[in-house]
Structures are given as structure tokens and as C-alpha cells.
Structure 1
Amino acid sequence: MNIENIKQPFIKIFPGDFSGNTIQRNTPKVLFSTVDPVGFEKPELIVFNEKLSEEIGLGKFEEKDLDFLVGNNIPENIQTYATAYAGHQFGNWAGQLGDGRAILAGEITNDSSKKTEIQWKGAGATPYSRHADGRAVLRSSVREYLMSEAMFHLGVPTTRALSLSFTGEDVVRDMMYSGNPQKEKGAVVVRTAESFLRFGHFELMSAQQEYDTLYKLVNFTIDNYYPEITSEGIQKYKDFFESVCKKTADLMVEWFRVGFVHGVMNTDNMSILGLTIDYGPYSMMDEYDLNFTPNTTDLPGRRYAFGKQGQISQWNLWQLANALHPIIKDEQFLEKTLNEFGDYFWKSHDNILCKKFGFDQLLDGDEEFFTNWQGLMQELKLDYTLFFNQLEKIDDENDLKFLFERVSYIFLDTEKLLKIENFINTYKARIGRNLISNEESINLMKKTNPKFILRNFLLYQCIEEINIGKTNILDKLITALENPYKEINSEFSIKRPSEYDDISGCSMLSCSS
């Protein structure tokens, strides 16, 4: 790999702590601290993303590159570092946070001048580890590697994963915070993104009243990641905030389209570029439930439930607005922009629902149709992804009982089947108002609704198999997630089997996941 081409503009621009001290502490008035990965004696590569490596400009993998992928023997041209940020966690101000188990190598530029940041996750403690060890276990690393790649191929903005490796050491974790810590295999993920900047980076500088650095950070972000913004003065910063709001709303709609629930939407987990970032206690939707949260830490309030993600993203943007106020200095503009967020989100939300149902445009009465559909889905516990897959097959010849029994998590008696039949009749009538052909409608659905989603029970099976040294499921999952709009493996296109309902890591997870 071409690691000698990695550059580090970030640490050349912003104030930092170059002591290399990994003792957990506050680091006021700096945006990063230099830190070395801990190093591992017996690493073992599990999977390497060759396509991504070529795309971002790192080139082909050689055996000697394994050291770099786990943070060993860092070349002299690279000064590794972790960034400081702040954030609101579960609605409460948490003060200084930072990269607790993430260490940045820098950025690389490919032949098309596209820049990509490269980061280890699980390579050791940083000043921001908050008394933790900075390591990562296999299960969380597999989940991050596979889901970030799955989201990319679904067409959802996301960080990506370059490699997954065993570290050769055990890590002690209490998976469900139940007072029962266990040894687990350690692992390191190398992940990439255009940038890992978060809302929390801006919150930290604003909270510390480091306004000169805040100005530098905003200008750096606009110059490097928002080239479409060409305005000057205060308008430049207003356009920036409006763009962040739009990107964030677009991301929430994409999450809704594919049925993704993040599980821990703290402001420090919100990307300034509108990327899905930090894959912890996430879940793809099985049975449709607006109140579903996969995160045990989010109970009983369910702040980050599936149906609240749009609302929470707006709340997070309010916190970003507060952080940027010292620069923008226009309360009316900020309030107006945030109030318009809801209108933009719901319009986009309804438009994506139209595509999921094969409607060519939003018509009067569609909002009531969508509301009735949501009620049906929740009452009959229908599988979100499989429901739309079955809807593509609807015609006058179909047996509705056969089609929908395989997508429900409860028994469908005569009364429940009648409700489905009534809904399908309403749906057919609505399709009849389309200005496009039935074939075009079906094609629209097929492009919008995935055939494959990376369900938690599949991840659980994969992790269990990797733990015993096998990668058969891993290989199959990678093929399937790279082709989510095709049915590559019919064995994966099923609802969650009942035997996985109460297994940790399949239905509910913790922030340790």
C-alpha cells in the first residue's frame, strides 16, 4: 500500500498537544493530541477491502502491510493523533469527549484528487479514552466493518471500512453492563471517510470560547468539504449551516428508506458531512415499529427510537447552531433555518415513501395512506424490508395469505388477513392514479427497496463463526451486501428466526456492542 503518501494537514493547522501522553485527561484549547497505537505482537488479517484500497489511492495489499493495518511500525512520515470534541449525550451536556479508541493516520489523495482520512479503531488508549483501554473486541469490529460497507452499497452516506484484523490479544468487556465481564478476542478496524469531523468538534471550541480556532475550523471545513459554497462574509457561514442541515435531513431520510436505526445519536456521533458514523448498538429494522430502539442504554425513554431520528437530528442541529452562533451572530436566521428543517425533512420523507410504494409523485390523500400503512405494519408486526419485497409481487393471482404470512412476526388469522386485503385494495386503487406504467412503478420500487439488509442475527452468526476461525458466512455476507438490490442468497431474505429473539446482539444491544 502507498502509505508513504499519507499527509496530515489537520495537525499542521490547528492547536494540539504533541506530548504523546495517553493518560486520560482534559486537553483545553487544543483540537488533537498526538498518540501512538499500542502495537500488537501477533496480528492476523481477517478481511481486506481491496476495492476500497484501490479507490482511495492506497493501492494493492502486500503481506508487509498488515503491520500498518493494526498500527505497528508506523512510518516516519506519519504522526498519529486523536482529536478532542465535546457533545450532548442522551440530551445532556457531557463536556470534553474525544476519540477514545480511534487514532488518525492522516489523509491520502487518489488520482482524482479525492481526499480520504484513514483511522484505526481499537488500536489503544488516547487522552480521551475516559479510563478505558482504547481496545475493541471482535464482535463490535465485525459489526462496524460489515455495516459501514453495507450502508455504502445501499447508497447511504457513510464512513467505510478498509480492513479488519485480530490483534492476537484478549480484551475484557461487560457486554450488557450486567456485572459479568468476559474475555473476548481483540480486533482493529481501519476505517475511512472524507472527514471524521463531528458536531462535537465545533461544540468543544465554542464551549471553551476558543473562537479563533472555531473560525479556523469552520473555514477549514468549508474549504475542504463544501466547495459549492462560494459566498463570503457572514453569508458563507450561513450557507454552511444550511448545507449541514440539508445533508443531515437527507441522511435521516435514507436511514428511513432502508430501515436503519443508529441507536445512539449523541451530538458527538453526528457527522458534519451528513455521514453515518460510529456503528455501535445499531440495528436494521426487522418488524416495523416506530418506537423501536436497539440500544439497551436508551431504555426506557427510547430517545433514539426509529421514528424519532428525524426529530433528534433537528435537536442536535440546534446544539450545532448554538456552537456556531458566535460566528453567525443571527438568531433569527438560525431559528428560521431550524424551523424549516421539519418541512424539508417531511417532504423528503414522503417523497421517499412514494418511491418505496412505486408512486410517481405525491398526491392528495397520500399522507393518510402512509399513516394507515404504518398502523397496519405495527399492528401486524410486519417485516419492514420483506413487506415491500412482497408488495412488488402483488397481482390478481397472488394468495395474500401465502405472501404475507412469511413477513409477519405474529400469526395472521382471518381478521388480520382481511385487514391486509383491504389495504392491498386501497394500494391498487392508488397505483391506478400513477402516470407511469406498472412496469415503471415496479422498477422504481426495486431501485428503492433493498432485497438484502444486514440483520443483527446474521451478524451474530458471522461473529460466532469467525470466533472459531471460519469465514464462510463472512464471505457470503460480503457478496450479499455488495449487491443489496439483488437476491444473491435466499437464505438471507428471511425474517429473524424466533430462536434469536432473546439473544444479546440479535434484538437488543448495549453501547458496548
Structure 2
Amino acid sequence: MNIENIEQPFIKIFPGDLSSNPMQRNTPKVLFSTVSPVGFPNPKLIAFNNELSEEIGLGKFKEQDLDFLGGNNLPKNIQPYSTAYAGHQFGNWAGQLGDGRAIFAGEITNQFGKKTEIQWKGAGATPYSRHADGRAVLRSSVREYLMSEAMFHLGIPTTRALSLALTGEDVVRDIMYNGNPKEEKGAVVIRTAESFLRFGHFELMSAQREYKTLQELADFTIKNYYLEITTDGNHKYKDFFEIICKKTADLIVEWFRVGFVHGVMNTDNMSILGLTIDYGPFSMMDEYDLNFTPNTTDLPGRRYAFGKQGQIAQWNLWQLANALHPIIQDEKFLEKTLNEFGDYFWNAHDNMLCQKFGFDKLLKNDEEFFTNWQGLMQELQLDYTLFFNQLEKINEKTDLKALFDEVSYTILDNERILKLELFIKNYSKRLEENSISKKDSIELMQKANPKFILRNYLLFECIEEINIGKTDLLDKLILALKNPYQETFPEFSKKRPAKYDNIIGCSTLSCSS
């Protein structure tokens, strides 16, 4: 890899150096602190993303690169740093937060001029680690590496993973926060993104009344990541906010399309570029349930449940609007933009569902059709992904019970089958209103509905194997996630086995790293 080409423009723009006391918690009036990775003397590479490395301009992996991946023996041109931000966590103001486990190496520019930020996750404490150690465990690192790549290949905006390595040390974690800590293998991930800027970076400067720096941060973001904005004055900040709202809405619609549940949509976990960021207690949905949350920390309120993600996105945008108000200074504009978010989101959501069902356009009665479908899915406990895969196979001779028994997590008795038959009958009538052929309708469905999703039980099995030194399943999953709209491995296109119901670390997750 060409790590000598890594630059650090961010710290040139927003100065602030606490390297004399890198473990300091409070860093007022500062957006970043220089800090060094702890360094792991015996890292062991588990996975490296050569395709991504070449794409961003780092080139192919070489053995001597392992030191850099583990945060050791860094080139002289690199001065790592971590950023400060604030946020609302589970609806409450949490004050200053920051990169507690993330350390930036800097930025790389590829041959086409595209810039990519690079950071270690799990490479040691920063001034923003609070009372934690800044390390990461193997299970969370495997999950982030694989899921961020799975989302990318599904066509969803996301951060991406460059490498995954064992650190050679054990880390103590209480996985369910129930007083039962234990040692786990430590790991470090290098992840990349066009930018890791969050809503929380803007919230911090606004909360500290650092309005000049807030404006400089907005100008920096617009200049580097929102080239489509050409207006001047405070109107450019209005355009900035409007585009962020649309990017955020579009992202959440994509989550709904594939059944992704983030699990912890705090404002500090919201990307200013509309990327999926911070893969913690996430899950792809198995049985369809609008009230599903994979995060035990989110119980019993289920604030971040699958069906609430659009609502929470809007709530988070209200907090961003409050943060940007000092430079926008137009309450009516902000209120109008936020009130229009719902209409934009639900129109995009329903058009997305049309594609999943193979409808060429959204019709007046489709909202009622979708509502009836949601009720059917929840009552019959049908697998979200597999339901649409089965829907493609239906013809006049199809045995509906046999077809959908394979994708239901409950018993399809006669009463439920009658309800299913009625729905399919109504679905067939709705297809007749299409202005496209049956073949074109199926093609719409195949583009919108993945054949492979990275289910939690597969991640669980993969982590268990890596813990005993095996990577066969890891290698197979990496191949499968690169072609999610094809059934590359039929054994992965099946519903969750019953033995994984309510298993800690599989069906039951927490924010533990």
C-alpha cells in the first residue's frame, strides 16, 4: 500500500492540539486532538479488501503493510488524530462525545482525484474514550467489516472496511451489561469513507456557541462534499440543510428496502453525507416486524425499531436544524423543510415498495394495499427477504402453503392460508394495472429484492469459527455479499434456524464493543 501518500487536511483547517495530554476528557472549543494508536506488536491479518485498497489509491496489500494496519511503526508523514462531537443519545442530550475508538490516519487521493478518509477503529484510547479503553473486540469488528461491505454491494451509501486484524491481546467486555464480564479477542478494523463528519460535529460547535467555527465547518463541508451548491451567503446553508434532509430520507428508505435496522440512531451516529455509519447492534430483519429492534439497550421503549427509523431520522434532523440555526437564521425555512420531510420520505418509501412488488408506478389505492400487506407479514411471521423471493415464483398452479411454509416462522394453519390466498388474489389484480409486461415486472422485483442478506446468525457462526482459527465461512460470506442479487450460495437463502432464537450475540445484541 502507498501509505506515504496519506495526507491530513482536516487538522490543517480546524487547529487544536492536545498531544501533551492525550487522555484528557474535556476538550472545549476544539474539534480534534492529535493522538497515536496504542500499537499492537503481534497483529494477525484476518481479511484485507484489495479491491477497495486499489480503488481509493492505496494499491495492493504487501506483508510490510501489516504494521500499519495494526497501528505500528507509522510513516513520518502521518500524525493521527481523533475528532470531538456531541449528540443526542436515546433522545437525551449527551454533551461532548467524540471518537472514543476511532483514530484517523488521514486522507488518500486516488488517480481520479477522489479523496477518502482512513481511520483505525479499536486502536486504543483517545481524549474522547471517556472511561473506556478504546479497544474493540473480535465480534464487533467482524460484524462491521462484513456488514459495511454487504451494504455497499446492496447499493446502499455506507462507510467501507479496508482491513480486519486480530490485535494479539484480550479485551474484557460485559456483552449484556449484566455484571458478567469476560475476556474476548481484541481486533482492529480500518474503515474508510468520503467523510466521517456527523450531525454531532455541528451540534458540538453550536452548543459551545463557537459560531465562527460552526460556519467554517459548514463552509469546509460544502466546499469539499457538496459541490452542487453554488449559492452564496446564508442561502448556501439553506441548500446544505435541504440536501442533507433528502440524503438522509433516501438512506432510510434504502434501509427499509433491504430490511436493515441500525439499532442506535443517535445524532452522533448520523452521517452529514447520508452514509450508513457506526455498525453496532444492527441487524438485517428475519421475520417482518415493524417493532423489531436488535438492541437490548433500546428496550423496552424500542425507540430505534425498524418501523420508526424514518420518524427518528426526522427527529435527528430537527436537532441538526437547531445546531445550524445560528448560521441559517430562518426559523420558518427550517420548520417548512422539516415538515416536508415526512411527505418526501413516505412518497419515496411507497415508490420503493412498488419496485419490490413489481409495480411500475404508485397508484392511489397502493397505500391501503401496503398496509394490508404489513398486517399479513406480521401475523404470518413471514421472512421479509424470502417473502419477495417467493413472490417472484408464483403462478396459477402454485401451492401457496408449500411455497410460504418455507419462509414463515410460525405454523400456517387454514385460517392464515385463507388470508394469504386473499392477499395473493388482490396482488394479482394489482399487477393487472401495470403498464409493463410480467417479465419487466419481475425484473423490477429482482433489482429491488436481494437474494442474499447478511443475517445475524451467519455473522454469529462466522465469529465463532474465527475464534477457533477457521476462516472458511468468512471467505464464503465475502463472496456471497459481493453478489447479493444472485443466489450464489443457496444455503444462505434460508430463514434463520430455530436454534438461534434468543441467542446472546446473535438474536440478542447490545452496544458492547
The TM tier, using the shorter chain, reads over 0.9
Report the secondary structure of 1:274's partner residue. coil
Q: Which residue of 2 aligns with 1:211?
A: 211
* Separation (CA, whole Å) in 2 of partners of 1:255 and 1:157: 10
Q: Which residue of 2 aligns with 1:39?
A: 39
* 8 Å contact kept, 1:11–1:32: yes
Aligned-residue CA RMSD (Å): 0.6
Q: Which residue of 2 aligns with 1:70?
A: 70
List aligned pairs for 1:114-133, cutoff 5 A. Answer: 114-133=114-133
The reply on whether 1:15 has 2:15 as its aligned counterpart is yes
* Separation (CA, whole Å) in 1 of partners of 2:196 and 2:99: 10
Shift of 1:289: 0.4
Read off the aligned partner of 2:17 and give its amino acid letter: D
Shift of 1:21: 2.7
Report the secondary structure of 1:36's partner residue. coil
* Separation (CA, whole Å) in 2 of partners of 1:229 and 1:367: 35
Q: Which residue of 2 aligns with 1:310?
A: 310
* 8 Å contact kept, 1:24–1:129: no
Read off the aligned partner of 2:436 and give its amino acid letter: I
Deviations 1:431-481 (A, max 9, x none): 011000000000000000000000000000000000000001001100000
Shift of 1:397: 1.6
Q: Which residue of 1 aligns with 2:94?
A: 94
Q: Which residue of 2 aligns with 1:49?
A: 49
List aligned pairs for 1:394-433, cutoff 5 A. Answer: 394-433=394-433
Shift of 1:505: 1.8
The reply on whether 1:252 has 2:252 as its aligned counterpart is yes
* Separation (CA, whole Å) in 2 of partners of 1:42 and 1:27: 33
* 8 Å contact kept, 1:24–1:131: no
Q: Which residue of 1 aligns with 2:373?
A: 373
Read off the aligned partner of 1:342 and give its amino acid letter: G
* Separation (CA, whole Å) in 2 of partners of 1:182 and 1:421: 50
Q: How many percent of aligned residue pairs carry the same amino acid?
A: 80
The reply on whether 1:266 has 2:258 as its aligned counterpart is no
Read off the aligned partner of 2:450 and give its amino acid letter: P
Report the secondary structure of 1:470's partner residue. coil
* 8 Å contact kept, 1:120–1:188: yes
Q: Which residue of 2 aligns with 1:479?
A: 479
* Separation (CA, whole Å) in 2 of partners of 1:395 and 1:412: 20
Shift of 1:388: 0.3
Shift of 1:19: 1.8
Read off the aligned partner of 1:300 and give its amino acid letter: P
Shift of 1:22: 2.9
* Separation (CA, whole Å) in 1 of partners of 2:8 and 2:125: 21
Q: Which residue of 2 aligns with 1:342?
A: 342
The reply on whether 1:28 has 2:28 as its aligned counterpart is yes
Shift of 1:17: 2.0
* Separation (CA, whole Å) in 2 of partners of 1:402 and 1:412: 10
Q: Return closer, same or farther for 1:20/1:378 CA change in 2, 3 Å cut-off.
A: farther
Runs of 4+ in structure 1 off by over 2 angstroms are none
Q: Which residue of 2 aligns with 1:275?
A: 275
List aligned pairs for 1:143-292, cutoff 5 A. Answer: 143-292=143-292
Read off the aligned partner of 1:197 and give its amino acid letter: L
Deviations 1:304-353 (A, max 9, x none): 00000000000000000000000000000000000000000000000000
Shift of 1:24: 4.1
* Separation (CA, whole Å) in 1 of partners of 2:452 and 2:289: 19
* Separation (CA, whole Å) in 2 of partners of 1:505 and 1:372: 33
Shift of 1:18: 3.8
Shift of 1:20: 4.9
Read off the aligned partner of 2:325 and give its amino acid letter: H
* Separation (CA, whole Å) in 2 of partners of 1:310 and 1:113: 34
* Separation (CA, whole Å) in 2 of partners of 1:25 and 1:101: 13
* 8 Å contact kept, 1:167–1:187: yes
Q: Which residue of 1 aligns with 2:297?
A: 297
* 8 Å contact kept, 1:87–1:95: yes
Shift of 1:15: 2.6
* Separation (CA, whole Å) in 1 of partners of 2:80 and 2:468: 33
Shift of 1:219: 0.3
* Separation (CA, whole Å) in 1 of partners of 2:325 and 2:227: 22
What is the number of equivalent residue pairs in this alignment? Answer: 513
TM-score by length of 1: 0.99
* 8 Å contact kept, 1:261–1:294: yes
Report the secondary structure of 1:16's partner residue. coil
Shift of 1:35: 0.3
Instruction: Could you tell me which runs of 5 or more consecutive residues in structure 2 were left unpaired when the two chains were aligned.
Output: none
* Separation (CA, whole Å) in 2 of partners of 1:25 and 1:74: 25
The reply on whether 1:465 has 2:468 as its aligned counterpart is no
Report the secondary structure of 1:430's partner residue. helix
Q: Which residue of 2 aligns with 1:61?
A: 61
Shift of 1:241: 0.2
* Separation (CA, whole Å) in 2 of partners of 1:386 and 1:345: 25
* Separation (CA, whole Å) in 1 of partners of 2:502 and 2:232: 55
Instruction: Could you tell me which runs of 5 or more consecutive residues in structure 1 were left unpaired when the two chains were aligned.
Output: none
Deviations 1:221-260 (A, max 9, x none): 0000000000111110000000000000000000000000
* Separation (CA, whole Å) in 1 of partners of 2:256 and 2:505: 21
Q: Return closer, same or farther for 1:69/1:135 CA change in 2, 3 Å cut-off.
A: same
Q: Which residue of 1 aligns with 2:390?
A: 390
* 8 Å contact kept, 1:285–1:384: yes
* Separation (CA, whole Å) in 1 of partners of 2:20 and 2:162: 26
Deviations 1:167-225 (A, max 9, x none): 00000000011100010000000000000000000000000001111011000000000
TM-score by length of 2: 0.99
Report the secondary structure of 2:427's partner residue. helix
Report the secondary structure of 2:45's partner residue. strand
Q: Return closer, same or farther for 1:3/1:20 CA change in 2, 3 Å cut-off.
A: farther
Q: Return closer, same or farther for 1:401/1:210 CA change in 2, 3 Å cut-off.
A: same
